[in-house]
Amino acid sequence: MSNITVSSDVDTMLQSADKTSIRTSVFNNFTAVSRLSTNFGTAELTPIQNFQPATDDTLANLCVDASGNVVRGSQEATFAFNRTQLNGLTGQKITLLSAPGPGKCIVVEDSHWLIEIDPSKDSAAALVDLTCEIINGQTPYKVATQITAANLSNIAGYTKVANDGNFGMYSMDVPQLDRISQFNEPMTIRAKNSDGVTNFPDNFASVKLKIKYRVFDSTTF
């Protein structure tokens, strides 16, 4: 069950819903540990606890509905782009999540961008935004999530100056723009620019995007 995240509340809910067999199979080997540190500076807490994903850290939340059924809630998806693929995004849109079907819409809840640089290359600014869109008739509201050229450049620059590995992280738990969700539309990604730029600088090795999203159904909402 390494690809499922749970909370301590779910165990209580399952037990009260008399889901004994599910509770036993899922939770017996899971230990949720919370710690209180009152001696700051000498008793720091490790952020790494048990049952961390061993390989693929792309998760789905296990939830309980109003009838006590175990259901899928928010879930994650992870996408990786090497430099060649990043350059390809300047000329076209790529579909990341397909259209969910009639009466259903995709809503992105948060996103994390993992930027890998090549420290052997000179630092150079990115000139494009990486933008994920869910097509909407209201054009200003179609951005699901994005990382701007300025933030890409800042992360690359800070990472090289820090000289402490090749990676930097950018996270958003709210959209930069208001969104009006459109039903049965895919989520795409493209590199937006207005200056004819077609290539990322050599110091960008790769970008990975991890999103958390829900698929809402108009018939069960």
Contact yes or no for 168/156 (Cβ under 8 A): yes
Tell me the pTM: 0.79
| CATH 2.60.120, the chain: domain bounds | 76-221
Quick one: pLDDT at residue 33? 58
Report the DSSP beta bridge partners of residue 77: 211
Average confidence score pLDDT of the chain: 80
For residue 204, give every residue at least 6 positions away whose Cβ sits within 8 Å of its Cβ, in sequence order, or none: 83, 86, 115, 116, 117, 118, 126, 152, 156
Which positions of the chain have pLDDT values less than 70?
1-43, 45, 138, 140, 174-177, 194-198
Assigned architecture for domain 76-221: Sandwich (2.60)
3-class secondary structure, 116 = strand
Cβ count near 84 (within 10 Å)? 10
Helix (H) or strand (E) holding 204: strand 204-217
Dihedral, CA atoms, 16, 18, 22, 27, nearest 10 degrees?
30
Q: What residue type is assigned to position 103 of the chain?
A: G
